[in-house]
Structure 1
Amino acid sequence: MELLASGRDADVYAIDRDRVLRRYKGNRNSAGEKTIMARLHTLGFPVPRVYSARQRDLIMERLYGPTMVEALVSRDLEAERAGEMLAELHKRLHKLPPPVPNKPDHRVLHLDLHPGNVIITSKGPVVIDWRNARTGEPGLDRAVTGVILAHVAAGDSILAAPARDLLAAYREALGEPLSHVREAMAFRAADAHLTEEERNELSRAEALLV
Protein backbone atom coordinates (compact mmCIF):
# COMPACT_ATOMS: atom_id res chain seq x y z
CA MET A 1 0.00 0.00 0.00
CA GLU A 2 1.12 3.54 -0.76
CA LEU A 3 1.89 5.70 2.27
CA LEU A 4 -0.07 8.95 1.88
CA ALA A 5 0.66 10.65 5.19
CA SER A 6 2.50 9.97 8.42
CA GLY A 7 1.63 11.74 11.66
CA ARG A 8 2.73 11.51 15.26
CA ASP A 9 0.15 8.91 16.17
CA ALA A 10 -1.01 7.35 12.88
CA ASP A 11 -0.09 6.56 9.28
CA VAL A 12 -2.48 6.74 6.33
CA TYR A 13 -2.16 4.34 3.38
CA ALA A 14 -3.97 4.25 0.04
CA ILE A 15 -5.86 1.00 -0.50
CA ASP A 16 -7.32 2.00 -3.86
CA ARG A 17 -8.86 5.08 -5.49
CA ASP A 18 -11.79 5.11 -3.07
CA ARG A 19 -10.42 3.89 0.26
CA VAL A 20 -7.62 4.59 2.72
CA LEU A 21 -6.34 2.76 5.78
CA ARG A 22 -5.62 4.82 8.89
CA ARG A 23 -3.40 2.79 11.20
CA TYR A 24 -2.60 4.02 14.70
CA LYS A 25 0.98 3.58 15.85
CA GLY A 26 0.06 2.88 19.45
CA ASN A 27 -2.14 0.22 20.96
CA ARG A 28 -5.41 2.04 20.30
CA ASN A 29 -8.87 0.67 19.52
CA SER A 30 -10.60 2.52 16.68
CA ALA A 31 -14.14 1.24 17.33
CA GLY A 32 -15.26 4.34 19.26
CA GLU A 33 -14.00 6.65 16.53
CA LYS A 34 -15.91 4.64 13.93
CA THR A 35 -19.14 4.91 15.95
CA ILE A 36 -18.88 8.69 16.29
CA MET A 37 -17.98 9.25 12.63
CA ALA A 38 -20.78 6.97 11.42
CA ARG A 39 -23.32 8.93 13.48
CA LEU A 40 -22.03 12.26 12.20
CA HIS A 41 -22.10 11.02 8.61
CA THR A 42 -25.72 9.93 9.07
CA LEU A 43 -26.57 13.41 10.40
CA GLY A 44 -24.98 15.06 7.37
CA PHE A 45 -21.85 16.47 8.97
CA PRO A 46 -18.84 16.43 6.59
CA VAL A 47 -16.69 13.49 7.72
CA PRO A 48 -15.19 10.64 5.67
CA ARG A 49 -17.39 7.58 5.35
CA VAL A 50 -16.04 4.77 7.54
CA TYR A 51 -16.20 1.28 6.08
CA SER A 52 -14.73 -0.79 8.90
CA ALA A 53 -12.76 -0.63 12.13
CA ARG A 54 -10.62 -3.32 13.67
CA GLN A 55 -8.32 -2.78 16.64
CA ARG A 56 -5.99 0.08 15.58
CA ASP A 57 -7.12 0.18 11.92
CA LEU A 58 -9.80 2.31 10.26
CA ILE A 59 -10.75 1.87 6.62
CA MET A 60 -12.34 5.05 5.33
CA GLU A 61 -13.37 6.99 2.28
CA ARG A 62 -10.42 8.46 0.38
CA LEU A 63 -10.58 12.26 0.12
CA TYR A 64 -9.01 14.38 -2.59
CA GLY A 65 -7.84 17.92 -1.99
CA PRO A 66 -5.32 19.89 0.09
CA THR A 67 -5.47 20.28 3.82
CA MET A 68 -6.39 23.75 5.01
CA VAL A 69 -2.73 24.21 6.00
CA GLU A 70 -1.58 23.40 2.48
CA ALA A 71 -4.18 25.75 1.00
CA LEU A 72 -3.00 28.54 3.31
CA VAL A 73 0.67 27.99 2.46
CA SER A 74 -0.07 27.98 -1.28
CA ARG A 75 -2.25 31.07 -0.78
CA ASP A 76 -5.21 29.38 -2.42
CA LEU A 77 -7.07 30.18 0.81
CA GLU A 78 -6.91 33.41 2.78
CA ALA A 79 -6.54 33.30 6.57
CA GLU A 80 -9.76 35.26 7.03
CA ARG A 81 -11.78 32.72 5.06
CA ALA A 82 -10.05 29.82 6.83
CA GLY A 83 -11.02 31.28 10.21
CA GLU A 84 -14.60 31.65 9.05
CA MET A 85 -14.57 28.04 7.82
CA LEU A 86 -13.38 26.68 11.16
CA ALA A 87 -16.05 28.67 13.00
CA GLU A 88 -18.73 27.46 10.58
CA LEU A 89 -17.68 23.84 11.07
CA HIS A 90 -17.86 24.20 14.84
CA LYS A 91 -21.27 25.86 14.73
CA ARG A 92 -22.57 23.16 12.40
CA LEU A 93 -21.19 20.36 14.61
CA HIS A 94 -22.59 21.84 17.80
CA LYS A 95 -26.06 22.33 16.32
CA LEU A 96 -26.47 18.57 15.88
CA PRO A 97 -28.82 16.77 18.31
CA PRO A 98 -27.41 16.01 21.78
CA PRO A 99 -25.87 12.51 21.76
CA VAL A 100 -26.75 11.95 25.44
CA PRO A 101 -30.49 12.50 26.11
CA ASN A 102 -30.09 13.42 29.79
CA LYS A 103 -27.41 16.03 28.99
CA PRO A 104 -29.11 18.43 26.56
CA ASP A 105 -26.29 20.99 26.79
CA HIS A 106 -23.68 18.45 25.64
CA ARG A 107 -22.66 17.88 22.02
CA VAL A 108 -20.06 15.86 20.13
CA LEU A 109 -16.69 17.61 20.48
CA HIS A 110 -13.84 17.09 18.01
CA LEU A 111 -11.15 18.52 20.32
CA ASP A 112 -8.53 18.78 17.56
CA LEU A 113 -10.25 20.89 14.90
CA HIS A 114 -7.43 22.84 13.27
CA PRO A 115 -6.25 23.50 9.68
CA GLY A 116 -4.29 20.24 9.48
CA ASN A 117 -7.47 18.25 10.12
CA VAL A 118 -9.64 19.89 7.46
CA ILE A 119 -9.46 18.66 3.85
CA ILE A 120 -10.67 21.13 1.22
CA THR A 121 -12.47 18.87 -1.27
CA SER A 122 -14.44 19.78 -4.36
CA LYS A 123 -17.61 19.40 -2.26
CA GLY A 124 -16.36 21.61 0.56
CA PRO A 125 -14.34 21.18 3.78
CA VAL A 126 -14.30 17.73 5.41
CA VAL A 127 -13.14 17.16 9.00
CA ILE A 128 -10.78 14.25 9.68
CA ASP A 129 -9.01 12.69 12.70
CA TRP A 130 -11.69 12.14 15.34
CA ARG A 131 -9.40 10.31 17.77
CA ASN A 132 -10.00 12.89 20.56
CA ALA A 133 -13.76 13.10 20.04
CA ARG A 134 -16.07 12.87 23.03
CA THR A 135 -19.20 14.53 24.35
CA GLY A 136 -19.16 17.72 26.40
CA GLU A 137 -19.82 21.44 26.39
CA PRO A 138 -19.25 23.11 23.00
CA GLY A 139 -17.27 25.94 24.56
CA LEU A 140 -14.41 23.56 25.30
CA ASP A 141 -14.22 22.43 21.66
CA ARG A 142 -13.99 26.01 20.42
CA ALA A 143 -11.43 26.91 23.07
CA VAL A 144 -9.19 23.95 22.12
CA THR A 145 -9.14 25.21 18.53
CA GLY A 146 -8.29 28.69 19.83
CA VAL A 147 -5.44 27.29 21.92
CA ILE A 148 -4.03 25.27 19.00
CA LEU A 149 -4.07 28.34 16.74
CA ALA A 150 -2.55 30.52 19.47
CA HIS A 151 0.09 27.83 20.09
CA VAL A 152 1.25 28.08 16.46
CA ALA A 153 0.96 31.88 16.49
CA ALA A 154 3.23 32.05 19.57
CA GLY A 155 5.98 30.08 17.84
CA ASP A 156 8.68 31.03 15.36
CA SER A 157 7.65 29.00 12.31
CA ILE A 158 6.59 30.45 8.96
CA LEU A 159 3.01 29.65 9.99
CA ALA A 160 3.09 31.96 13.02
CA ALA A 161 1.90 35.10 11.20
CA PRO A 162 -0.88 33.34 9.24
CA ALA A 163 -1.95 31.63 12.47
CA ARG A 164 -2.35 35.02 14.19
CA ASP A 165 -4.55 36.25 11.33
CA LEU A 166 -6.50 33.00 11.32
CA LEU A 167 -7.05 33.15 15.08
CA ALA A 168 -8.39 36.69 14.85
CA ALA A 169 -10.73 35.71 12.01
CA TYR A 170 -11.87 32.59 13.85
CA ARG A 171 -12.73 34.50 17.02
CA GLU A 172 -14.59 37.18 15.09
CA ALA A 173 -16.56 34.59 13.12
CA LEU A 174 -17.61 32.79 16.31
CA GLY A 175 -19.30 36.00 17.41
CA GLU A 176 -18.73 35.34 21.11
CA PRO A 177 -15.76 35.29 23.51
CA LEU A 178 -13.89 32.02 24.01
CA SER A 179 -14.80 30.23 27.23
CA HIS A 180 -13.13 27.20 28.85
CA VAL A 181 -9.68 28.55 27.92
CA ARG A 182 -7.97 27.26 31.08
CA GLU A 183 -9.48 23.82 30.59
CA ALA A 184 -8.43 23.87 26.94
CA MET A 185 -4.87 24.85 27.90
CA ALA A 186 -4.68 21.91 30.30
CA PHE A 187 -6.10 19.57 27.66
CA ARG A 188 -3.47 20.70 25.15
CA ALA A 189 -0.64 20.47 27.68
CA ALA A 190 -1.60 16.85 28.40
CA ASP A 191 -0.85 15.86 24.79
CA ALA A 192 1.97 13.33 25.09
CA HIS A 193 3.13 14.08 21.55
CA LEU A 194 4.24 17.65 22.33
CA THR A 195 7.98 18.29 22.30
CA GLU A 196 9.71 20.31 25.02
CA GLU A 197 10.00 23.25 22.62
CA GLU A 198 6.29 23.07 21.87
CA ARG A 199 5.47 23.03 25.57
CA ASN A 200 7.52 26.19 26.03
CA GLU A 201 5.63 27.86 23.18
CA LEU A 202 2.33 26.73 24.70
CA SER A 203 3.06 28.72 27.84
CA ARG A 204 3.07 31.87 25.67
CA ALA A 205 -0.12 31.00 23.81
CA GLU A 206 -2.56 31.90 26.60
CA ALA A 207 -1.56 35.58 26.36
CA LEU A 208 -2.98 35.66 22.82
CA LEU A 209 -6.38 34.49 24.04
CA VAL A 210 -7.14 37.02 26.76
Structure 2
Amino acid sequence: MVCALSLHVPCPPRTGPDRIGAGRSSEVFAEGPDRVVKLYRQPFEPEAVANELAASRLAHGFGLPVPEAFGLVGRAGRTGILFVRLDGPPMTARYACNPLGLLLALRRVARIQHAIHACPAPGLPSLHALLRRQIAGARVPEPLRQAALAALDRLPAGDRLCHGDVHPGNVIATRAGLQLIDWQKAAAGDPAADVARSELVLRYGRFGPAWFSRLGPVRLARRLIAAWYVASYRAASGLPREAIAAWRLPVAVSRLFGHPSDTDAELLAAIERLARKSPDFEKASLFAGPGQSPGLG
Protein backbone atom coordinates (compact mmCIF):
# COMPACT_ATOMS: atom_id res chain seq x y z
CA MET A 1 0.00 0.00 0.00
CA VAL A 2 2.89 2.35 0.70
CA CYS A 3 4.13 1.62 -2.83
CA ALA A 4 0.74 2.47 -4.34
CA LEU A 5 0.47 5.57 -2.18
CA SER A 6 3.84 6.87 -3.32
CA LEU A 7 3.26 6.08 -6.98
CA HIS A 8 0.20 8.30 -7.09
CA VAL A 9 2.08 11.46 -6.12
CA PRO A 10 1.54 13.69 -9.18
CA CYS A 11 4.64 14.81 -11.08
CA PRO A 12 4.42 18.07 -13.07
CA PRO A 13 5.01 17.70 -16.80
CA ARG A 14 8.14 19.27 -18.22
CA THR A 15 7.51 22.19 -20.52
CA GLY A 16 11.07 22.49 -21.78
CA PRO A 17 14.55 21.08 -21.37
CA ASP A 18 15.47 23.56 -18.61
CA ARG A 19 12.49 23.06 -16.33
CA ILE A 20 13.21 20.41 -13.73
CA GLY A 21 10.30 20.85 -11.32
CA ALA A 22 7.17 22.80 -10.47
CA GLY A 23 4.77 23.39 -7.61
CA ARG A 24 1.72 25.45 -6.85
CA SER A 25 3.63 28.68 -6.30
CA SER A 26 6.84 28.24 -8.31
CA GLU A 27 8.83 26.53 -11.05
CA VAL A 28 12.45 25.38 -10.92
CA PHE A 29 14.78 25.71 -13.92
CA ALA A 30 18.34 24.58 -14.51
CA GLU A 31 20.82 27.47 -14.48
CA GLY A 32 24.05 25.99 -15.79
CA PRO A 33 25.51 22.68 -14.60
CA ASP A 34 25.48 23.29 -10.86
CA ARG A 35 22.73 25.80 -10.09
CA VAL A 36 18.96 26.16 -10.37
CA VAL A 37 16.66 29.14 -10.23
CA LYS A 38 13.34 28.91 -8.44
CA LEU A 39 10.95 31.32 -10.18
CA TYR A 40 7.73 32.29 -8.45
CA ARG A 41 4.46 32.32 -10.31
CA GLN A 42 2.60 35.61 -10.81
CA PRO A 43 1.23 37.08 -8.67
CA PHE A 44 3.61 36.32 -5.82
CA GLU A 45 4.16 37.59 -2.29
CA PRO A 46 7.48 39.45 -2.04
CA GLU A 47 7.55 38.82 1.72
CA ALA A 48 7.35 35.05 1.19
CA VAL A 49 10.22 35.12 -1.33
CA ALA A 50 12.38 37.21 0.99
CA ASN A 51 11.52 34.88 3.85
CA GLU A 52 12.59 31.79 1.89
CA LEU A 53 15.90 33.39 1.00
CA ALA A 54 16.57 34.46 4.60
CA ALA A 55 15.52 31.10 6.08
CA SER A 56 17.50 29.07 3.54
CA ARG A 57 20.64 31.09 4.25
CA LEU A 58 20.09 30.82 7.98
CA ALA A 59 19.60 27.04 7.86
CA HIS A 60 22.58 26.52 5.54
CA GLY A 61 24.70 28.65 7.85
CA PHE A 62 23.88 26.32 10.73
CA GLY A 63 25.18 23.38 8.69
CA LEU A 64 21.77 21.84 8.10
CA PRO A 65 21.17 19.74 4.96
CA VAL A 66 19.78 22.60 2.90
CA PRO A 67 20.80 23.80 -0.60
CA GLU A 68 22.87 26.97 -0.55
CA ALA A 69 20.95 30.08 -1.64
CA PHE A 70 22.96 32.68 -3.59
CA GLY A 71 20.43 35.50 -3.87
CA LEU A 72 17.45 36.98 -5.67
CA VAL A 73 17.35 37.00 -9.47
CA GLY A 74 14.99 38.18 -12.20
CA ARG A 75 14.08 36.17 -15.28
CA ALA A 76 11.56 37.23 -17.95
CA GLY A 77 9.80 39.60 -15.57
CA ARG A 78 9.62 37.03 -12.78
CA THR A 79 11.38 36.97 -9.42
CA GLY A 80 13.30 33.98 -8.17
CA ILE A 81 16.08 32.64 -5.96
CA LEU A 82 19.31 31.13 -7.24
CA PHE A 83 20.22 27.87 -5.46
CA VAL A 84 22.93 25.27 -5.75
CA ARG A 85 21.62 22.32 -7.76
CA LEU A 86 20.74 19.12 -5.93
CA ASP A 87 21.18 15.98 -8.00
CA GLY A 88 18.60 13.40 -7.06
CA PRO A 89 14.87 12.63 -7.11
CA PRO A 90 12.28 13.73 -4.58
CA MET A 91 12.02 11.37 -1.65
CA THR A 92 8.53 10.35 -2.80
CA ALA A 93 9.95 9.05 -6.08
CA ARG A 94 13.10 7.53 -4.58
CA TYR A 95 11.11 5.28 -2.25
CA ALA A 96 7.98 4.79 -4.37
CA CYS A 97 8.15 0.98 -4.24
CA ASN A 98 10.34 0.55 -1.18
CA PRO A 99 8.13 0.69 1.93
CA LEU A 100 10.92 -0.17 4.36
CA GLY A 101 13.21 2.36 2.73
CA LEU A 102 10.47 5.00 2.99
CA LEU A 103 10.02 4.38 6.72
CA LEU A 104 13.76 4.55 7.36
CA ALA A 105 13.99 7.74 5.29
CA LEU A 106 11.13 9.28 7.27
CA ARG A 107 13.03 8.51 10.45
CA ARG A 108 16.04 10.38 9.03
CA VAL A 109 13.79 13.32 8.09
CA ALA A 110 12.46 13.39 11.67
CA ARG A 111 16.03 13.62 12.94
CA ILE A 112 16.75 16.43 10.49
CA GLN A 113 13.66 18.27 11.73
CA HIS A 114 14.86 17.84 15.31
CA ALA A 115 18.26 19.30 14.33
CA ILE A 116 16.46 22.26 12.74
CA HIS A 117 14.59 22.90 15.97
CA ALA A 118 17.86 23.10 17.90
CA CYS A 119 18.65 26.34 16.03
CA PRO A 120 17.45 29.86 16.84
CA ALA A 121 15.55 31.83 14.21
CA PRO A 122 16.57 35.51 14.44
CA GLY A 123 14.75 37.76 12.01
CA LEU A 124 12.12 35.24 10.91
CA PRO A 125 8.39 35.90 11.42
CA SER A 126 6.49 34.49 14.38
CA LEU A 127 4.84 31.14 13.70
CA HIS A 128 2.31 31.91 16.43
CA ALA A 129 1.27 35.16 14.69
CA LEU A 130 1.17 33.44 11.30
CA LEU A 131 -1.14 30.71 12.59
CA ARG A 132 -3.42 33.31 14.16
CA ARG A 133 -3.77 35.11 10.82
CA GLN A 134 -4.44 31.87 8.94
CA ILE A 135 -7.01 30.67 11.47
CA ALA A 136 -8.80 34.03 11.23
CA GLY A 137 -9.18 33.51 7.46
CA ALA A 138 -9.76 29.75 7.43
CA ARG A 139 -12.78 28.21 5.69
CA VAL A 140 -14.42 26.88 8.87
CA PRO A 141 -17.57 27.67 10.88
CA GLU A 142 -17.09 30.28 13.57
CA PRO A 143 -17.27 27.88 16.58
CA LEU A 144 -14.34 25.91 15.16
CA ARG A 145 -12.38 29.09 14.52
CA GLN A 146 -12.90 30.32 18.08
CA ALA A 147 -11.94 26.94 19.56
CA ALA A 148 -8.72 26.95 17.51
CA LEU A 149 -7.86 30.52 18.54
CA ALA A 150 -8.50 29.73 22.21
CA ALA A 151 -6.25 26.67 21.98
CA LEU A 152 -3.56 28.74 20.27
CA ASP A 153 -3.66 31.34 23.04
CA ARG A 154 -2.62 28.67 25.57
CA LEU A 155 0.34 27.46 23.53
CA PRO A 156 3.90 28.83 23.72
CA ALA A 157 5.16 31.20 21.03
CA GLY A 158 8.61 29.62 20.88
CA ASP A 159 11.75 30.97 19.23
CA ARG A 160 13.17 27.92 17.44
CA LEU A 161 13.75 27.58 13.71
CA CYS A 162 10.71 25.87 12.14
CA HIS A 163 10.55 24.87 8.48
CA GLY A 164 6.77 25.06 8.33
CA ASP A 165 6.26 22.35 5.71
CA VAL A 166 8.44 19.28 6.37
CA HIS A 167 7.12 16.34 4.35
CA PRO A 168 8.53 13.88 1.76
CA GLY A 169 7.62 16.10 -1.18
CA ASN A 170 10.04 18.74 0.13
CA VAL A 171 12.95 16.34 0.56
CA ILE A 172 15.48 15.54 -2.19
CA ALA A 173 17.34 12.22 -2.01
CA THR A 174 20.93 13.00 -3.08
CA ARG A 175 24.02 10.80 -2.95
CA ALA A 176 25.21 12.86 0.00
CA GLY A 177 21.96 12.29 1.88
CA LEU A 178 18.53 13.84 2.26
CA GLN A 179 18.23 17.59 1.63
CA LEU A 180 15.30 19.75 2.73
CA ILE A 181 13.99 22.37 0.29
CA ASP A 182 11.15 24.96 0.14
CA TRP A 183 11.73 27.18 3.17
CA GLN A 184 9.07 29.68 2.12
CA LYS A 185 6.95 29.04 5.25
CA ALA A 186 9.82 29.05 7.74
CA ALA A 187 9.25 30.89 11.01
CA ALA A 188 10.31 31.19 14.62
CA GLY A 189 8.12 29.07 16.83
CA ASP A 190 7.49 26.03 18.98
CA PRO A 191 8.96 22.77 17.59
CA ALA A 192 5.79 20.87 18.57
CA ALA A 193 3.78 23.04 16.17
CA ASP A 194 6.15 22.24 13.32
CA VAL A 195 5.87 18.49 14.00
CA ALA A 196 2.08 18.75 14.20
CA ARG A 197 2.12 20.36 10.74
CA SER A 198 4.24 17.51 9.33
CA GLU A 199 1.89 14.95 10.88
CA LEU A 200 -1.09 16.74 9.35
CA VAL A 201 0.39 16.83 5.84
CA LEU A 202 1.41 13.17 5.97
CA ARG A 203 -2.12 12.21 6.98
CA TYR A 204 -4.30 14.67 5.04
CA GLY A 205 -2.14 16.33 2.37
CA ARG A 206 -3.03 15.74 -1.25
CA PHE A 207 -1.52 12.60 -2.80
CA GLY A 208 -3.02 11.78 -6.16
CA PRO A 209 -6.68 12.17 -7.16
CA ALA A 210 -9.36 12.64 -4.52
CA TRP A 211 -10.89 9.19 -5.03
CA PHE A 212 -7.52 7.57 -4.33
CA SER A 213 -7.05 9.47 -1.08
CA ARG A 214 -10.50 8.36 0.08
CA LEU A 215 -9.75 4.63 -0.25
CA GLY A 216 -9.83 2.89 3.11
CA PRO A 217 -6.45 1.14 2.76
CA VAL A 218 -4.81 4.41 1.66
CA ARG A 219 -6.22 6.31 4.62
CA LEU A 220 -5.02 3.58 6.97
CA ALA A 221 -1.54 3.59 5.41
CA ARG A 222 -1.29 7.36 5.76
CA ARG A 223 -2.43 7.26 9.38
CA LEU A 224 0.25 4.69 10.15
CA ILE A 225 2.93 6.64 8.28
CA ALA A 226 2.03 9.83 10.18
CA ALA A 227 2.14 7.95 13.50
CA TRP A 228 5.53 6.47 12.59
CA TYR A 229 6.88 9.92 11.80
CA VAL A 230 5.71 11.40 15.10
CA ALA A 231 7.14 8.43 17.00
CA SER A 232 10.47 8.87 15.17
CA TYR A 233 10.61 12.56 16.07
CA ARG A 234 9.75 11.85 19.70
CA ALA A 235 12.46 9.17 19.87
CA ALA A 236 15.02 11.72 18.66
CA SER A 237 13.84 14.65 20.75
CA GLY A 238 12.09 13.30 23.84
CA LEU A 239 9.19 15.67 23.12
CA PRO A 240 6.04 14.52 24.98
CA ARG A 241 3.17 13.22 22.89
CA GLU A 242 0.85 15.70 24.60
CA ALA A 243 2.91 18.67 23.43
CA ILE A 244 2.34 17.75 19.79
CA ALA A 245 -1.31 16.83 20.34
CA ALA A 246 -2.01 20.28 21.84
CA TRP A 247 -1.14 21.90 18.49
CA ARG A 248 -3.30 19.66 16.30
CA LEU A 249 -6.48 21.75 16.37
CA PRO A 250 -4.97 25.19 15.59
CA VAL A 251 -2.60 23.72 12.98
CA ALA A 252 -5.42 21.79 11.30
CA VAL A 253 -7.70 24.84 11.13
CA SER A 254 -4.85 26.95 9.73
CA ARG A 255 -4.50 24.40 6.93
CA LEU A 256 -7.93 25.47 5.60
CA PHE A 257 -6.57 28.93 4.78
CA GLY A 258 -5.62 29.74 1.20
CA HIS A 259 -6.25 27.62 -1.87
CA PRO A 260 -9.04 25.01 -1.54
CA SER A 261 -8.07 21.36 -1.87
CA ASP A 262 -9.99 18.19 -2.64
CA THR A 263 -9.04 16.93 0.84
CA ASP A 264 -10.77 19.84 2.62
CA ALA A 265 -13.87 17.85 3.52
CA GLU A 266 -11.87 15.07 5.14
CA LEU A 267 -9.77 17.57 7.06
CA LEU A 268 -12.83 19.48 8.21
CA ALA A 269 -14.30 16.26 9.60
CA ALA A 270 -11.05 15.68 11.49
CA ILE A 271 -11.18 19.24 12.84
CA GLU A 272 -14.71 18.64 14.08
CA ARG A 273 -13.52 15.56 15.97
CA LEU A 274 -10.65 17.50 17.51
CA ALA A 275 -12.92 20.38 18.49
CA ARG A 276 -15.40 18.09 20.23
CA LYS A 277 -12.57 17.13 22.61
CA SER A 278 -11.60 20.74 23.21
CA PRO A 279 -12.65 22.51 26.44
CA ASP A 280 -13.13 25.65 24.34
CA PHE A 281 -15.89 24.24 22.21
CA GLU A 282 -19.39 24.94 23.53
CA LYS A 283 -20.92 21.48 23.32
CA ALA A 284 -22.15 19.70 20.23
CA SER A 285 -25.20 21.94 19.93
CA LEU A 286 -23.11 24.52 18.05
CA PHE A 287 -22.66 22.07 15.18
CA ALA A 288 -25.12 21.82 12.31
CA GLY A 289 -26.80 18.86 13.95
CA PRO A 290 -26.26 15.26 15.06
CA GLY A 291 -24.06 13.43 12.59
CA GLN A 292 -23.74 16.43 10.29
CA SER A 293 -20.59 18.23 9.24
CA PRO A 294 -20.62 21.99 9.74
CA GLY A 295 -19.62 22.47 6.10
CA LEU A 296 -17.18 24.93 4.65
CA GLY A 297 -18.03 28.53 5.21
- Structure 2: runs of 5 or more not aligned: 1-16, 124-155, 235-239, 278-297
| 1:32-181 to 2 correspondences below 5 Å | 32-54=51-73, 56-75=79-98, 78-99=101-122, 105-152=158-205, 155-156=213-214, 160=219, 162-175=221-234, 176-177=240-241, 178=244, 179-181=246-248
Deviation string 1:101-150 (CA, Å, 9 cap, x unpaired) is xx994112111111000111111111101111111111111100011111
Residue 182 of structure 1 is matched in structure 2 by 249
Structure 2 CA distance for aligned equivalents of residues 187 and 77 of structure 1: 32
Identical counterparts, % of pairs: 27
Structure 2 CA distance for aligned equivalents of residues 143 and 38 of structure 1: 24
Alpha-carbon offset, residue 168 of structure 1: 2.1
Alpha-carbon offset, residue 204 of structure 1: 4.3
- Structure 1: runs of 5 or more not aligned: none
The answer as to whether partners of 2:196 and 2:248 remain within 8 angstroms in 1 is yes
Structure 1 CA distance for aligned equivalents of residues 99 and 176 of structure 2: 16
Instruction: Name whichever structure is richer in strand by fraction.
Output: 1
TM-score computed with the length of structure 2 as normaliser: 0.62
Deviates more, 1:62-71 or 1:79-88: 79-88
Structure 2 CA distance for aligned equivalents of residues 160 and 75 of structure 1: 18
Aligned length: 205
Q: 1:148 to 1:2 in 2, by over 3 A?
A: same
What is the Cα-based RMSD across aligned positions, in Å? Answer: 2.7
Instruction: Pick the structure with greater CA Rg.
Output: 2
- Give the aligned residue type for 1:27: F
Q: 1:76 to 1:18 in 2, by over 3 A?
A: farther
Q: 1:76 to 1:143 in 2, by over 3 A?
A: closer
- Give the aligned residue type for 2:214: D
- Give the aligned residue type for 1:183: P
Alpha-carbon offset, residue 41 of structure 1: 0.7
TM-score computed with the length of structure 1 as normaliser: 0.85
Say if 2:19 is the partner of 1:28.
no
Higher relative contact order (CA 8 A, sep 6+): 2
